[in-house]
């Protein structure tokens, strides 16, 4: 007799899923995905889920994209991995040559790793060591924005400031100086994101005055604080920050892990402000979401501070086993090939205004919609208890989670951040799918609001 495996049961017997309260799985067991195509994920019963969160924001050009899959297959048959110290391979060299042309000017040295958090750690160590080796040894701290998110390893977590992820670990985290981030929805200066002068930049100025002499770098998610609830702030803030960093000799580390590769409508979020950071971290969309792969890009100025005779011990002694992995490089090259045709950009020009208006039209008239904000294809709807007073729902109600569960039943993978429902779909999404996912999201939102007696 055929031995039929209960995949969900076996999953829960062995697997501790990331970023989950495992007890929730009693009510909602893991959905076991069998195959995928475009924005569709199919479970083992052939039920389709529209992946409008790009599987944690990494799937850039659709699941099982034929061009990327082909490149991966070809590479797997040729060279799967090679130690990256003293050895190299054509793929990673070509990738570096091409990235140097695409990245903001001045970023022309690349150090590779295998996930976003490790890239952030690397960026922090690089900045610290630079100042140690250029005579500014008092610069030993980091600054970052409040509500930021930079990953889960201790350094990256220390730079982050979302209580949900960091609070319990505070006793073991580094002492990072957190600057009050722009909060355009609750702007303390009563301005709006489109017409302000970034009055809130005063907080950054004040912190730099007090802490820049002891700080090597400031880490920021340019324009979009993703995990904080897709909080969007104006490019002017970044421009001002670039100037401030220059004034005080503090490195600007742009964490573009979530924002790179047209997520915000331009190749990099930094492009909106026309700035070049000193260090940039990339991952996620870099391989189209195919392979764990990341990089830290930096300037020749920083690189030069590490370049000397061996016995001076200035080398950057940082490595990861999978640094420069050929499979990752092959996928990244395929992504660049696709982007180079210009088709994606053309598609985005056509569908982005449609998607953004559709979401505004669908949600702005709800009494519990505090704000609808968008950048590129990313759209977020901040649901609140009281729209006029901007009072949030009691988090115990888990309004977002209730909407998430309902949407799954109807075949849409939304995964709200608290009570912020958002869309961050693969860039290839078509209007027809936009109509469907927005309709489902709205229906589910209304049902949940009704069930909780808010409408």
Ligand X SMILES: Cc1ncc(COP(=O)(O)O)c(C=O)c1O
Binding site for ligand X (CB under 6 A): 115-117, 120, 149-151, 221, 226-227, 255, 257-258, 283
How near is the Cβ of 381 to ligand X at its closest, in Å? 19
Q: Which is nearer to ligand X, 38 or 151 (CB)?
A: 151
CB 195 within 8 A of CB 161: no
Alpha carbons within 13 angstroms on the beta-carbon side of residue 418 total: 20
Which has the closest alpha carbon to 251: 293, 286, 303? 303
Q: Which is nearer to ligand X, 262 or 363 (CB)?
A: 262
How near is the Cβ of 377 to ligand X at its closest, in Å? 16
Q: Which is nearer to ligand X, 166 or 452 (CB)?
A: 166
Q: Which is nearer to ligand X, 227 or 276 (CB)?
A: 227
Q: Which is nearer to ligand X, 256 or 433 (CB)?
A: 256
Q: Closest CB to ligand X belongs to which residue?
A: 116
Q: Which is nearer to ligand X, 60 or 257 (CB)?
A: 257
Euclidean distance between CA atoms 349 and 217, whole angstroms: 35
Which has the closest alpha carbon to 401: 113, 28, 7? 28
Q: Which is nearer to ligand X, 275 or 384 (CB)?
A: 275
Which has the closest alpha carbon to 183: 224, 231, 219? 231
Euclidean distance between CA atoms 445 and 453, whole angstroms: 12
Q: Which is nearer to ligand X, 58 or 384 (CB)?
A: 58
Q: In degrees rounded to 5, what are phi and psi of residue 2? A: -65, 135
How near is the Cβ of 120 to ligand X at its closest, in Å? 6
Residue 177 CA: distances (Å) to CA of 50, 144, 159, 204, 218: 39, 6, 8, 11, 9
Euclidean distance between CA atoms 162 and 155, whole angstroms: 14
Q: Which is nearer to ligand X, 257 or 358 (CB)?
A: 257
How near is the Cβ of 283 to ligand X at its closest, in Å? 5
Euclidean distance between CA atoms 166 and 157, whole angstroms: 6
- Both tokens of residue 417? 């951040």
SS3 179: strand
How near is the Cβ of 151 to ligand X at its closest, in Å? 3
Q: Percentage helix, strand, coil, to 5, in the chain?
A: 45, 15, 40
How near is the Cβ of 323 to ligand X at its closest, in Å? 15
Strand order in the sheet with 378-383: 369-375, 378-383, 420-423
How near is the Cβ of 240 to ligand X at its closest, in Å? 20
How near is the Cβ of 117 to ligand X at its closest, in Å? 3
- Both tokens of residue 420? 């912020």
How near is the Cβ of 421 to ligand X at its closest, in Å? 18
User: Who's near 231: CB < 8 A, 6+ residues apart?
Assistant: 147, 181, 182, 183, 184, 185, 224, 225, 373
């Amino acid at each position: 007799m055929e031995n039929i495996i209960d995949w969900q049961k076996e999953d829960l017997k062995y697997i501790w899923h990331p970023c989950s309260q495992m007890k929730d799985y009693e009510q909602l067991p893991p959905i076991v995905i069998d195959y995928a195509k475009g924005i569709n994920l199919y479970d083992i019963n052939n039920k389709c889920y529209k992946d409008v969160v790009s599987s944690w924001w990494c799937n850039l050009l659709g699941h099982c994209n034929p061009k990327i899959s082909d490149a991966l297959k070809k590479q797997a048959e040729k060279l799967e991995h090679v130690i990256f110290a003293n050895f190299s391979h054509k793929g990673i060299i070509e990738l570096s040559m091409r990235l140097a042309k695409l990245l903001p000017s001045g970023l022309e040295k690349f150090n590779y790793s295998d996930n976003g958090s490790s890239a952030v750690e690397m960026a922090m160590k690089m900045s610290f060591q630079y100042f140690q080796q250029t005579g500014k040894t008092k610069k030993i701290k980091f600054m970052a924005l409040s509500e930021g998110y930079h990953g889960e390893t201790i350094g990256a977590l220390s730079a982050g400031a979302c209580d949900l992820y960091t609070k319990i670990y505070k006793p073991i985290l580094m002492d990072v100086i957190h600057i009050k981030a722009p909060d355009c929805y609750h702007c303390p200066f009563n301005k709006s994101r489109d017409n302000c002068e970034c009055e809130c930049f005063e907080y950054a100025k004040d912190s730099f005055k007090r802490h820049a002499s002891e700080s090597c770098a400031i880490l920021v998610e340019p324009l979009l604080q993703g995990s904080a609830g897709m909080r969007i702030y104006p490019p002017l803030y970044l421009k001002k920050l670039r100037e401030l960093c220059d004034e005080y000799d503090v490195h600007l580390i742009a964490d573009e892990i979530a924002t790179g590769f047209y997520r915000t409508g331009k190749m990099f979020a930094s492009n909106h402000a026309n700035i070049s950071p000193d260090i940039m971290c990339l991952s996620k969309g870099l391989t189209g979401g195919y392979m764990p792969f990341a990089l830290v890009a930096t300037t020749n100025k920083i690189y030069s501070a590490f370049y000397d005779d061996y016995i001076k011990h200035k080398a950057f002694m940082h490595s990861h086993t999978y640094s420069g992995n050929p499979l990752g490089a092959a996928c990244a090259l395929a992504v660049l090939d696709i982007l180079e045709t210009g088709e994606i950009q053309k598609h985005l020009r056509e569908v982005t205004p449609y998607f953004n208006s559709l979401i505004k039209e669908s949600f702005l008239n709800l009494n519990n919609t505090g704000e609808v904000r968008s950048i590129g294809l990313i759209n977020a709807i901040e649901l609140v208890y009281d729209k006029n007073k901007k009072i949030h729902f009691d988090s115990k109600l888990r309004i977002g989670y209730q909407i998430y569960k309902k949407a799954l039943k109807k075949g849409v993978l939304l995964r709200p951040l608290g009570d912020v429902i958002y869309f961050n779909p693969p860039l290839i999404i078509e209007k027809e799918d936009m109509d469907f996912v927005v309709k489902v999201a709205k229906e589910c939102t209304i049902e949940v609001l009704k069930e909780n007696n808010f409408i």
